[in-house]
Structure 1
């Protein structure tokens, strides 16, 4: 199969992507950014459900475009005899199949792991679902909101004493997509020596549980039930947002040495000498009192002033940026984390997120290919299959 649009360590790897909405497409977007060729197999007429999710610009879904660039699209009805033959031909050439249906859907189509591993022994079958392929909830549907709630994450998110809050981004999907990538990469590594495929089974709830390592293990061993923490760390102090003269900033003075530097920069060099603030553990026991003392000092100057001062002193800190400020951050720009896609036929472009994984041997992609129109690459894909018969 032809090379991917991105130069990277996964060049030569071809992925058939049956997934839709977020978890699966986020995984395949990441793999495309590493050099894999991703052929998105969509439902004729409607395509990926995400194409109907806003916000929209010039009739295009920005939600869809943000996680489906650098991919090709072909629309296939897997219940249609002709389209099924095309899909089977693609399977014979693919390294990885990605899907995020509920367990059992692919089996009913005759395309489940148990059947495909016999016909395509080198194929890596990567499945993401709400609850995985085992357990009493395996056949139940799930969305990001469901797993954020069920994992306990919402119970510790929000202001202290407040109601549970959903995280501002779909971490349930994004963590599942990230773990799906890890599983696929591990399976590809194993296949290099065994020449055998593998089933990768990733559950959204499992992934959220994995990201709840501190609160779950802490409660399991102490019996102390955590609640919403605001911006505070569960055990390190000072490690939170503080008010300044004009706004807020975050400070992460995570050890005694940094706290001493912070105290000096704030004009309070005596603080580390006080018994109640003398160690991380003591500061945690007096966190409310310390917050009052620090904010009293911080209120004398602006956030920008303090960030300059504290950064010069080697104290980890930063502003609480709004989304527009993030886009203009020179560090973000320097790392090429904000990209403009190559122009479409009408000259329009989309702004997308760059690849956070940088390599010394591969140049960064300056202009990602825009997300495909539904069935955009049918002719080129069919022509490729015809020439390889």
Structure 2
């Protein structure tokens, strides 16, 4: 096989198709969700993402629910917009082919335990020797350094360790996890941001060298929690779960109507609170010394929330909705996916798109975010089967069909 050189492929100075990341090529060899989600976000905005799996298709996301008739539905939507290849880089021939391909990629994404790539003979020096301008994004639970660097990381683990989970749950009760790996999604967002930032740097300087991005999922979640360190140092506070209340603003809570429809209300500014009080027939609350400012409302939260809960529980949700809308008070029913699918705002924005799929015709998924005025992004297809694009992708790197068949027979692809 002929070696490929960086000069064979250059980053585009400006996007040459619909997406801002057009011209960027990403090799995604990560598993499960966090790092692959970051690659998917880049694919949404024009990057050419090649998903590399082991030939046995052992990525755990292929067995996570929801699964229908043996088909991993989450895989299909989470890895949308990618081409799929299979390659065992732990084998000598697989490693050689991997390094031959690397000069044609701008970003390599991996999420193996720290040191794993080194043991496979794919340490950073080897990777940069193949492609000096490569962005290597390493996403792990705790980062490449420190005493926890070798620990396995899963969303609920770094949600707990970051302090994020300590803020959820009922007051005085157990902290609660969400029924969705929020930590993976947040880390994936930071991964996409990191890639976009590095691509901007490389596009601005043709002589710039590649870098290793050390992304800790724990630190990504902790980064969201700006006030925790400063309020602890300066005020001695350790923020605790407060149920659906907020300890920093009021009223801001979850309430239930007479027929037990749950909805959230935020009326924390003085102007909005005055409108809420007026709508509930209690205009005097706005000047009540217990409720006239946000600090006073927080200090007297129990009395305020008790009065609000009593009023809401005595009215139907239809009446509550009409009253709050007329008063200009921010609120929302707690939506399920059934509510989202029928909501006029989601429908008007086409927030659910249909991804073309060879098995099901199409599957629903969230739209591309954000939108850019004047740019119509193509709808990506669902995630690939194991090695679905082997022939197509490897041909781009000069691998003949006969050579590919031989590699397949040896278990390399």
Deviations 1:126-157 (CA, angstroms, capped at 9, x unpaired): 11001111111111111111111112222221
Matched, 1:245 2:258: yes
State the distance in 1 between where 2:116 and 2:32 align. Answer: 17
TM-score by length of 1: 0.93
Q: Which of 283, 287, 303 in structure 2 is aligned with 1:273?
A: 287
1:326 corresponds in structure 2 to 340
Deviations 1:166-214 (CA, angstroms, capped at 9, x unpaired): 1232121111111111111111111112332222110011112112223
The structural deviation recorded for 1:29 is: 0.8
State the distance in 1 between where 2:174 and 2:357 align. Answer: 45
2:85 corresponds in structure 1 to 74
Q: Which of 144, 147, 158 in structure 2 is aligned with 1:147?
A: 158
2:302 corresponds in structure 1 to 288
Instruction: Give the number of the structure with larger relative contact order, counting CA–CA contacts within 8 Å between residues 6 or more apart.
Output: 2
State the distance in 1 between where 2:308 and 2:286 align. Answer: 13
2:145 corresponds in structure 1 to 134
1:299 corresponds in structure 2 to 313
State the distance in 2 between where 1:147 and 1:162 align. Answer: 20
1:31 corresponds in structure 2 to 42
Question: Does the 8 Å CA contact 2:99/2:130 hold for their aligned counterparts?
Answer: no
Question: Does the 8 Å CA contact 1:47/1:374 hold for their aligned counterparts?
Answer: no
Q: Which of 332, 353, 361 in structure 1 is aligned with 2:366?
A: 353
- Aligned CA distance change for structure 1 residues 52 and 85 (closer, same or farther; 3 Å): same
2:386 corresponds in structure 1 to 374
The structural deviation recorded for 1:15 is: 0.3
User: How do residues 95-174 of structure 1 correspond to structure 2 at under 5 angstroms?
Assistant: 95-174=106-185
The SS at the match of 1:251 is: strand
State the distance in 1 between where 2:347 and 2:109 align. Answer: 32
State the distance in 2 between where 1:172 and 1:114 align. Answer: 30
2:352 corresponds in structure 1 to 338
Matched, 1:64 2:75: yes
* Number of aligned residue pairs: 385
Q: Which of 194, 200, 210 in structure 1 is aligned with 2:213?
A: 200
The structural deviation recorded for 1:47 is: 4.1
The structural deviation recorded for 1:329 is: 2.1
Question: Does the 8 Å CA contact 1:341/1:351 hold for their aligned counterparts?
Answer: yes
Question: Does the 8 Å CA contact 1:103/1:129 hold for their aligned counterparts?
Answer: yes
The SS at the match of 1:276 is: coil
The SS at the match of 1:288 is: helix
State the distance in 2 between where 1:288 and 1:217 align. Answer: 26
State the distance in 2 between where 1:112 and 1:35 align. Answer: 29
Question: Does the 8 Å CA contact 2:264/2:333 hold for their aligned counterparts?
Answer: yes
State the distance in 1 between where 2:188 and 2:357 align. Answer: 27
TM-score by length of 2: 0.88
Coordinate RMSD, CA, aligned? 2.1
The structural deviation recorded for 1:387 is: 8.9
The structural deviation recorded for 1:295 is: 2.1
Deviations 1:59-112 (CA, angstroms, capped at 9, x unpaired): 211221221111111100113333333322321100110001111111122223
Deviations 1:306-339 (CA, angstroms, capped at 9, x unpaired): 2232123221111112232123222223222212
State the distance in 1 between where 2:18 and 2:122 align. Answer: 31
The structural deviation recorded for 1:161 is: 1.5
The structural deviation recorded for 1:216 is: 3.9
Runs of 4+ in 1 over 6 A off after TM superposition: 1-4
The structural deviation recorded for 1:347 is: 4.8
The structural deviation recorded for 1:363 is: 0.4
Deviations 1:330-385 (CA, angstroms, capped at 9, x unpaired): 222322221221141x45332222212101232033x4212111000000112222
- Aligned CA distance change for structure 1 residues 387 and 147 (closer, same or farther; 3 Å): closer
Matched, 1:226 2:252: no
1:386 corresponds in structure 2 to 398
Mind listing any 5+ residue stretches in structure 1 that lack a counterpart? none
The SS at the match of 2:387 is: coil
